[in-house]
Amino acid sequence: MKAILAVNNLGFIGLKGGLPWRSSEDFKHFKRMTLGKRLLVGHNTFHTLPHLGDRVVVLDERPTLEVNDIDWCIGGKKTYKKYAHLITELHISHINDNSLGDTTFPVFSKLNPSCVIFNYYFKVNTPKS
């Protein structure tokens, strides 16, 4: 299974169940990577997601979860930690943003040192004047 997430310059991945920023580039990247795939998501994150058409969302709380059938873990923090040992690739979108959040990403190299990490860099949307 692979994992995908976005983190800002301060290490935050969330704020009140959502993202502290908006990045259309990162949203397009997320869609491109996960379209047509099976996504594992935790309970709290599930309730903040928009409709993800053409993807199968599997809730982490299912009693008989076959992780071999999952393509991507998409969060949140507890779900990343719970399944870290099964994640072979971690795709991190680094968002050039300094907004404060309330959720940080765990130090993944300590959770799964053998995981291959891919880094991507995106900017936040600039408000229209």
- CATH code, domain carrying 25: 3.40.430.10
Residue 52 lies in a domain: yes
Q: Can you give the pTM of this predicted structure? A: 0.91
H-helix or E-strand spanning residue 124: none
Contact 83, 73 (CB under 8 A): yes
What is the predicted pLDDT for the residue at 114?
95
Q: Which domain holds residue 105?
A: 2-123
H-helix or E-strand spanning residue 119: strand 116-123
H-helix or E-strand spanning residue 33: helix 24-34
For 43-63, how does the pLDDT look when each residue is reduced to its tens digit (9 = 90+)? 888 888 888 989 999 888 877
What is the predicted pLDDT for the residue at 85?
93
Residue 22 lies in a domain: yes
Could you tell me which residue, 127 or 18, shows the higher pLDDT? 18
Residue 129 pLDDT exceeds 80: no
For 78-107, how does the pLDDT look when each residue is reduced to its tens digit (9 = 90+)? 999 999 999 999 999 999 999 999 999 888
Number of domains in the chain: 1
Residue 36 lies in a domain: yes
Residue 30 lies in a domain: yes
Look-up: residue for tokens 């502290």?
Answer: 20
Q: How confident is the model at residue 127 (pLDDT cuts 50, 70, 90)?
A: low
Residue 128 lies in a domain: no
- Count the neighbouring beta carbons within 10 Å of the beta carbon of residue 125: 14
Retrieve residue 61's tokens: 């709380």
Residue 83 lies in a domain: yes
Residue 129 lies in a domain: no
Radius of gyration of the chain (CA): 14
